[in-house]
Amino acid sequence: MDVPRDLPFHLSSAFRAVGLPWPDVRIAHFDSAPAELGEHREAPRPREHIGRLRTILEAFFGHLDELAADHDGDPKSVSRHTDDPCVTGVRDDWAETAALMPDLHTAITTFVQQLLGGPRGVPDYLAAAPAWVKARARRGVRDEPTTGHAPAADALLRRREDPYGPRICVVTRPPPA
């Protein structure tokens, strides 16, 4: 089971022990949405839903934190109690909410995108070249490099911060010669 990126590291063993599929909602990506919506007449609704999503996530993480604290922060102790009432109680309390989270997240994302003028196309993550590329001498090749570590890393970092970008990224390289 994948651990959500928003999950604090010290809660990962409790998250795995509870075993509920929880989407990688990345609520921080919604932080800019209220500002982008400005004074739009529909803006209060997504703001309220984003706040609810944040509250739900913080409450779930709070329960995981209590579970970890009850086991003295010992990951092995939590994992040994997967079928014990201490863990099953958290699982039972949150099973319905965990099932609703992907739909809630998708609904908020779709609504915000519609208010902002529809879903954005897949951006060109190499559109803004790093400073060292702009400063290099022209040698009769392409204006911007399309291979190499720096452009690839720069593109990955921009992709990671794009709230409307694709959720899957495949990184490849040519086979060794």
The DSSP line for 44-111 is: HHHHHHHHHHHHHHHHHHHHHHHHHHHTTT-HHHHHHTTTSHHHHHHHHHHHHHHHHHHHHHHHHHHH
Q: Rounded to a whole number, what is the distance in angstroms from the first to the last CA of the chain?
A: 36
pLDDT, tens only, 16-48: 999 988 877 777 777 777 677 777 777 788 788
- Res 128: pLDDT: 57
Q: pLDDT, tens digit, for every residue of 59-118? A: 999 999 999 999 888 888 888 888 889 999 999 999 998 888 888 888 887 777 777 766
Residue 125 has pLDDT above 70, yes or no: no
Show me where the domains of the chain are located. Answer: 9-115, 121-177
Q: Tokens standing for 25?
A: 């909602």
Q: What is the pTM of this model?
A: 0.61
Q: For residue range 52-67, what is the model confidence (pLDDT) as tens digits?
A: 888 998 999 999 999 9
